[in-house]
Amino acid sequence: MKPVQIGVIGAGRIGRLHAENLVRRRGVIVKAISDLYPEAAREWASSIGIPHVHVDYQEVLADPAIDAVLICSPTDTHVDVICAAARAGKAIFCEKPVSFDFRQTIDAIASVAHAGVPLQIGFNRRFDPNFRRVKEWVDAGKIGKVHSVKITSRDPSPPSPEYVRSSGGLFVDMTIHDFDMARYLSGSDITEVYAAGGVLIDPAIGEMGDIDTAMISLKFANGAFGMIDNSRKAAYGYDQRVEVFGMDGCITADNDYPSSAQLYDGNGVHREKPKYFFLERYSVSYIQELDEFIAAVRGEGAVPVSGNDGLQAELAAYAARLSLKDGRPVKLEPIAATKGRFAG
């Protein structure tokens, strides 16, 4: 079988993670990487066998041997790179969110559709084995009609103010994963968002115009309800849990732990804290999402997370921001007629 040749655009933390996962995979060659700081990337790329490092991503796209690109550059570059990659006929994997402006996301999706190339969005949590089992049981009718979805998503420590400044805000940077997970587990689009939030952890986050704590209620097209609980700091580790409740039962998925050992003694029951960092917690899901992307590049099926999935999560994030600002529930349907800008 002919190897799939990959170019990675952006050699930051997530770009390096994906490249390191891919170089260990049979039938895949990571041929080139581009980054605005090539000197910092060159030694690392050489150490894992990537032969070419470029400053300009256009050089990656110009290589006819490259079948697909991974877009791991800053969010404000995504749309331009997607459109250029589509014109070059490359299959595309793009980290979330596609953009800070859903109108630009719509344009990017249209470019991909016109070119007829695959586009997969990096919502890796769908590929977590625990969450996937929940989805399989929901789809199999194990709990009957879904009535509610509850998602707990809490980081172990808050990001720096510098990160917050360019992140697009909590709803775009963090909750966007949860909006996607809510759609995925419920099997239905979100129709309404009602968000409450504040600054309870780090005043510097508030100074950046963002929040660090939120509770978000959802309504779905299928009549179900949802709740998302976000915090930028959980003292005990990375807290990632879901519950789907239905007519005939309930399905839950707990946190991942370094071990399942528990100590029972006179002082209580003791176990380790949840895994601390998202790269550790979702290590398997990052591998699986790329395995399925490579399968789509080979023509063995459709991408599992589409451009529309990315768009719907962005619309929910935008609705949450409007809801927090105005103190009211916000329906998604009329949002496309608004300005559509997250930042600013």
In-domain check, residue 195: yes
In terms of domains, do 44 and 114 share one? yes
Higher pLDDT, 188 or 281: 188
Q: Which long-range contacts (CB under 8 A, 24 or more apart) does 294-299 make?
A: 294/4, 294/25, 294/27, 294/28, 294/68, 296/91, 296/118, 296/120, 297/4, 297/67, 297/68, 297/91, 297/118, 298/4
Integer Cα distance of 151 and 44 in angstroms: 37
In terms of domains, do 211 and 82 share one? no
**Which pLDDT does position 338 carry in this prediction?**
63
Burial class (CB in 10 A: 0-12, 13-18, 19+), 283: middle
Cβ neighbours of residue 14 under 8 Å, at least 6 residues apart?
72, 95, 122
The pTM assigned to this predicted structure is 0.94
In terms of domains, do 276 and 291 share one? no
In terms of domains, do 139 and 97 share one? no
In-domain check, residue 305: no
**Which pLDDT does position 300 carry in this prediction?**
96
In-domain check, residue 63: yes
Listed residue (327, 336, 305) closest to 105, CA to CA: 336
Mean pLDDT across 221-239: 97
Q: Could you tell me the residue range of the domain that residue 117 belongs to?
A: 4-125+285-300
The region of weakest confidence among 55-59, 134-138, 273-277, 332-336 is 332-336
Integer Cα distance of 34 and 46 in angstroms: 13
In-domain check, residue 141: yes
- Total domains present in the chain: 2
In terms of domains, do 316 and 173 share one? yes
Integer Cα distance of 119 and 97 in angstroms: 13
In terms of domains, do 121 and 143 share one? no
In terms of domains, do 98 and 162 share one? no
Check pLDDT > 60 for residue 340.
Answer: no
**Which pLDDT does position 337 carry in this prediction?**
64
In-domain check, residue 266: yes
In-domain check, residue 136: yes
In terms of domains, do 325 and 289 share one? no
Q: What is the SS3 assignment for 122?
A: coil
Check pLDDT > 90 for residue 344.
Answer: no
In this structure, what CATH number is given to the domain that contains residue 16?
A: 3.40.50.720
Tens digit of pLDDT for each residue in 54-111? Answer: 999 999 999 999 999 999 999 999 999 999 999 999 999 999 999 999 999 999 999 9
Listed residue (166, 168, 167, 170) closest to 154, CA to CA: 170
In terms of domains, do 55 and 154 share one? no
In terms of domains, do 167 and 314 share one? yes
Integer Cα distance of 228 and 118 in angstroms: 30
Across all residues in the chain, what is the average pLDDT?
95
DSSP single-letter state for residue 272: P
In this structure, what CATH number is given to the domain that contains residue 163?
A: 3.30.360.10
In-domain check, residue 83: yes
Would you say 213 and 239 are in contact if contact means Cβ atoms under 8 Å apart? no
In terms of domains, do 49 and 103 share one? yes
Tens digit of pLDDT for each residue in 187-224? Answer: 999 999 999 999 999 999 999 999 999 999 999 999 99
In-domain check, residue 46: yes
In terms of domains, do 64 and 14 share one? yes
